[in-house]
Each structure stands twice: as structure tokens, then as C-alpha cells.
A and B are shown apart, each in its own frame.
Chain A
């Protein structure tokens, strides 16, 4: 019952070249509106991939396909080069894909430990819930993320925004994730907690986890991401190493769909 993310250096070294994850040609439409339109994006081990774009660009929809919340119309998902079939959140978790949703997706009426283990409860030898063990593990992992957190008996709806956020993050890292999806993880946080999350992201990266990060703050993007992928109107504008682009160029990609020279253009790049 390891309550911490585990490094997988062996596999990381063995399969250089094959990305950890590849989303190929993903599309989904809602009532005629193509929310994601033939998007292809990959993710390497120990990398933070920033997904950028306006509201409604299709970032959240794309990652919801990956986390099993939405069913795609077209496209294939590969993990370590093998095609996988994800049609619901259980499948995604089975492949070690964990998600921190923008809405946090917490069951408000139960306590932190119950939320951490929701869907994967620890059981006693008799098959009953082992609440004590779950609370003990919750105390450990929360102690690492948010040492001041003590409200283990309260339903999470009584917690502050930052505390709720740390519960959502703790849930994602509790189960040895290989791929972590973070949809605006710092939106509800103050400056101090934001820097804590940044620290956590670096730590998880060192453990070989691949992270998709949806983030609107351009400074955080340059601070945390290794690569970025910009989306506009459901299409990929371009993908670039963070060192190859300037902040202005990234803003140009987001606003005008203008793909700079050193980025790999996608189908959504404007023909200027």
C-alpha cells in the first residue's frame, strides 16, 4: 500500500524514442460542434506538457477523453507504443492515468480519506471498509502536501478552496500514477500553495511521471513546462520545446493561431 508516487527508471531508460503516451488523431463532436478536431499530441516520461489555448479551445475535452470521461469519435491512444482502449474512468485508472479536474470532482459530503480512496477503498480481511487504515494513509499523504491540514473528520464541502485542491491532488498521486493530468491545478490557490504545487510537479517529474498541465498563467507555463501544445478551435496549432519559443510567440499561437518557425505546426496553424 504505497501512498507515494513510485519512480520507474528501468522502463524510462529501456524505451527511449517511444513516447509514454500518444493521442493520435483524436476527434469528438457535440451536436455538430467539433470540440476536438483531429488532434495529435504525445507525452514523454518525466516531462511536463503544457496544454494551452483559449477557453473552449478543446484542452479540457481532449484530456477528458484520455481520462475516460468522454468517448471519442475517432482516434487511437497508445501507451508505451501499445494501443489501449479507454472507454470509462475505470479503464483510464487501470492504465495508471490519474486526473485532477478543474472542478476537483470531489464527493462533497464525505471526508478527505473517503475521497482519496473513492472507487478504490481499502478493505479489511472481512471485506468491509477499513476506514482507520484509509484515514491513516490519508494523514500521511496530506501531511506531505499540506502539513497544516487537520480536518480529517469534516466533509470536504466544509474545507477551504486550497484544502479541497490538496485533497484532489493527493488523490491523484496516491496510486502510483504513470500519467498525471492536471487541469488548472493552481486556480484556487494562493501564491504560497501555488509554489508548493510547482515543487510537487517537479518532484513527480523526477519520478518519471508524464504530466499534462492545463494552465492559463503564461509565467507558470514557462516555469513548469518542458514542452507546450497550443490548441485553437479544437485543432492543434503547434507543439514546441519551451526553450525554442518566447512568451510573445506562445501568445501569438494562442490568440492568432500563428505557429512560429521552431515549433512543429499542427492542422490548426493559421496560413499567414
Chain B
């Protein structure tokens, strides 16, 4: 990032453009940070601070901005966030998937039966392979359900709204029938780690390792991007903007590491752990950090893979081309039906993965698991900037959207709103988000 001479021309061109604009837009143009992203982060900050202050003033205790709550918030976001990344592709191609909550419930039931009723008979209770087989079975189940939906939508021409509305009922019913309405519990002990909790987190050391690797990744991305632009003589970002971006990225990552590491295990768990390991607890207690929760790491990996899929592969390019102009995509020789089927299969697979996280967190599978999740998932994608008219949407936006939805939910629980009020707020936020989106896009034109 020290090639000021070769980028001099581009910078002076940029500087010339920037004569009449304010410092904020100059900053955003130089760093190429999207205005929507900034808006979303701002909204998130307002929600967090608002709930914290409300708690501090009304209840004399601000519970929101504490390591404990933020750590829990990250875990609760995982399940919705994983599905929201798939919903982006569905909505970008002008479809909708109302069945994700029911597919989640169905997959969770299939996984629970696999690991509690079937596999122990063959492998023995607590066998180390059980959890992975169960997860794979769940993901494949989800992918198959999604493929069926995709086939009906793409090759049989039934609108996605209808197919998945039918699926919403049908798969919920299937989940009930599978176990005759029973709740299956407890799940395999290794499987349960996927849901988070003190044991389902990687601890302080590994959190630092992951954080540092992520920082190296951010810097490498910036350097590679810069080299690529120079190779083809495209305009470069100013060097200071690259530094700002790198510092922002690394700062956020390390801040997150410090946050998850400053939430200690509860005393009961520490005592249990000390007993099983035969450790003497020192005077004043032991401070054992949670670190990153496993479901959060799963969400991050899914987010990275999906971003890669969307931005760097043919499949991703076709998804957006179909969303922008389905007829043009067809005329360009894209097999739009096959792409549509794959999108729904992927959505189903992500529901399966999300089902693993959700049932592991609950340590059981109930036939009601995932009820109303479709609303949160769609809301997350839409709040994250996915346009219902198709062609526009980002993966990071959907994950941020999931965080916004979950923040609202958690915040309302913390300050003691009852369920009815929560529903009213969540419903209104969804409608207002779409309205703001419409206004924003009209002005952007």
C-alpha cells in the first residue's frame, strides 16, 4: 500500500471530482463504502444505545451493551442469519420462500430422530460420528425439500409464493407426523455444541487466533484487490482510504474478539468444569472466557462462502442477471430454470444447517421449532437491502439485517415488553423497512 506514485493520476482525478462535495461523501467515495451499509450500521447503533439507555433510565440497569447480552445476541442471530443469506438469492430472483421455518422444523426433526433413535442403535450412544452424520442428513434433507420446491417453481411454473405457502403447512405437518408430535431430547452431546453455550464456544486463545487470521485475511484482500486493479490499470483507491478500510476491518474484528472474551463462564459451569478436571478454584473465582460461540463461527463461514458464491462464481452472476431481467438472462443462453432449482435447493440446505444450530441450542427438537422464522428471515434480507423487485441484495446486508431484527427482539425482552407488543413492533419494522427502501430507491434514481 505504498505505491503513491503509480496511483497519483487516479488520485488527482478523484481529487478533481471531489472539489464540490462534503467530507463525508468524499470519504465514502474514496473508500467505496456503500451509503446503505452506513445507514444500517447507524440504525443498529441507535437500537443498541436506545435499549441500553432505556434500561439504564427506567430500570436503573442498562443490560443491553454488556458482554453477556451482546454474546447472546450473536448466538441468537446465527440461526436466522444463516437462512437470510440464502433468502437473498431467492428474493434477488424475484421469488419468495415462505417455508423456511417449516423446513427448519422438519430438518430438525429428521436430525433428532437420526441421532437419538437410529444411530445409537448402530454406532452406540455418544459415538463421535453421530453428530456429523446427523448434520449431513439434515442438510441433505433440506436440500431435497428445497429441490422439490425449486422443481415445482422452475419446471412446473407454479409461483414460488404458492409452492412455499403450501410447503409452510405441509412440512410443519410432516415434522409433527415424524415423531407423532413428541419432543425429542436430549440431542447428542457433541451435536449440542453447535448451538453455543459455555462448552459450545472456542475460548479466549482460539478466538484470538481466529481474529488474527481474519485480520490477515482483510489485509490480504485489500492488497490483492489493489494489485488486481493496477494490473489492468483501473482507477485505484487513494492510499489513505486503503489504510482506513484496513484499520476499520481489523478494528472491528479485534473489538469483537475482545467482546466475546470478556464474557466469562457462569460460576456454576466453572465449578462443574473445575470438578470434572480436578482443578482447585482459586480465591475470587476463575475467569474463563467464552470466546466465539460455534454457531457464530458457522454463520461467519456461511457468510464468507455465500459472498464468494455470489460475487465470484458464474452461479452468483446468473442469479443477479436473472433478477435484473429474466428474459434477457434466458436469451443470453442461461439455463434459468436450472439456476432457479439450485437456488431453492441451496435455500433448503441452509435451512437444514440452521436447523442443526437451532435444535442444538435448544438441546431438543420440537415440531414447533422455527415457527414464524420465515418472517424474521425475509425481514432480515429486506432490511439488509435486498430489493423485492429483484436484482439487488448483498449477503453482508442480510446478516446485518438479521442482527437488527434480533437486536430488536432481544432488546424488547430485556426491557420487559410483552409478546403482543413485540409482534406489533416486529411487524411494523418490516413494513417500514420496505417503505424506506422504496423511498431510497426512488431518490437514488
Query: Interface of A with B (CB < 8 Å)?
Result: 67, 69, 88-90, 93, 99, 101, 103-110, 114, 118-121, 123, 127-129, 132-133, 135-136, 155, 157
**Residue in chain A with minimal CB distance to B314:** A121
Q: For the complex, what is the distance from the CA of A266 to the CA of B28, rounded to whole Å?
A: 64
Given contacts A118-B321, A119-B333, contact A132 B328 (CB under 8 A): no
* Chain A residues in 8 Å Cβ range of B232: 132-133, 135-136
Q: For the complex, what is the distance from the CA of A107 to the CA of B317, rounded to whole Å?
A: 10
Q: Which of B215-231 contact A (CB under 8 A)?
A: 228-229, 231
Q: For the complex, what is the distance from the CA of A127 to the CA of B317, rounded to whole Å?
A: 13
B392 beta carbon closer than 8 Å to chain A = yes
* Chain A residues in 8 Å Cβ range of B334: 118-119
Minimum C-beta distance from B338 to chain A (A):
11
**Residue in chain B with minimal CB distance to A120:** B333
Q: Which of B223-261 contact A (CB under 8 A)?
A: 228-229, 231-232, 234
Residue among A89, A108, A109, A157 facing the most chain B CB atoms (10 A cut-off): A109
Kindly identify which residue among B321, B323, B330, B392 contacts A114, using a CB–CB cutoff of 8 Å: B321
Secondary structure at the A interface, as helix, strand, loop or mixed, is loop
Minimum C-beta distance from A207 to chain B (A):
23
**Binary contact track B329-346/A, C-beta < 8 Å → 1, others 0:** 111111100000000000
Q: For the complex, what is the distance from the CA of A93 to the CA of B333, rounded to whole Å?
A: 8
Contact indicator B324/A110 (Cβ below 8 Å): yes
Minimum C-beta distance from B312 to chain A (A):
4
**Binary contact track B19-60/A, C-beta < 8 Å → 1, others 0:** 000000000000000000000000000000000000000000
Minimum C-beta distance from A132 to chain B (A):
5
Residue among A107, A121, A127, A157 facing the most chain B CB atoms (10 A cut-off): A107
* Chain B residues in 8 Å Cβ range of A133: 232
B320 beta carbon closer than 8 Å to chain A = yes
Given contacts A106-B325, A109-B320, A121-B317, contact A128 B312 (CB under 8 A): yes
* Chain A residues in 8 Å Cβ range of B324: 107-110, 155, 157
B313 beta carbon closer than 8 Å to chain A = yes
Q: Interface residues of B toward A: which range?
A: 20 to 34
Query: Interface of B with A (CB < 8 Å)?
Result: 228-229, 231-232, 234, 308, 311-314, 316-317, 320-325, 327-335, 391-392
Contact indicator A90/B317 (Cβ below 8 Å): no
Contact indicator A108/B391 (Cβ below 8 Å): yes
Contact indicator B330/A107 (Cβ below 8 Å): no
Q: For the complex, what is the distance from the CA of A182 to the CA of B333, rounded to whole Å?
A: 17
Contact indicator B325/A108 (Cβ below 8 Å): yes
Kindly identify which residue among B234, B332, B333 contacts A135, using a CB–CB cutoff of 8 Å: B234
* Chain B residues in 8 Å Cβ range of A120: 333
Kindly identify which residue among B312, B323, B333 contacts A90, using a CB–CB cutoff of 8 Å: B333
Minimum C-beta distance from A1 to chain B (A):
14
* Chain B residues in 8 Å Cβ range of A155: 324
Q: For the complex, what is the distance from the CA of A163 to the CA of B320, rounded to whole Å?
A: 21
Kindly identify which residue among A89, A108, A123, A129 contacts B332, using a CB–CB cutoff of 8 Å: A89
Minimum C-beta distance from A180 to chain B (A):
15
* Chain A residues in 8 Å Cβ range of B325: 105-109
**Residue in chain B with minimal CB distance to A136:** B232
* Chain B residues in 8 Å Cβ range of A129: 311-314, 316-317
Residue among A119, A129, A136 facing the most chain B CB atoms (10 A cut-off): A119
Contact indicator B328/A107 (Cβ below 8 Å): yes
A-B contact pairs, 13 of them (CB 8 A): A88-B333, A99-B331, A103-B327, A105-B332, A107-B324, A108-B391, A109-B324, A110-B317, A118-B321, A118-B328, A118-B332, A129-B313, A132-B231
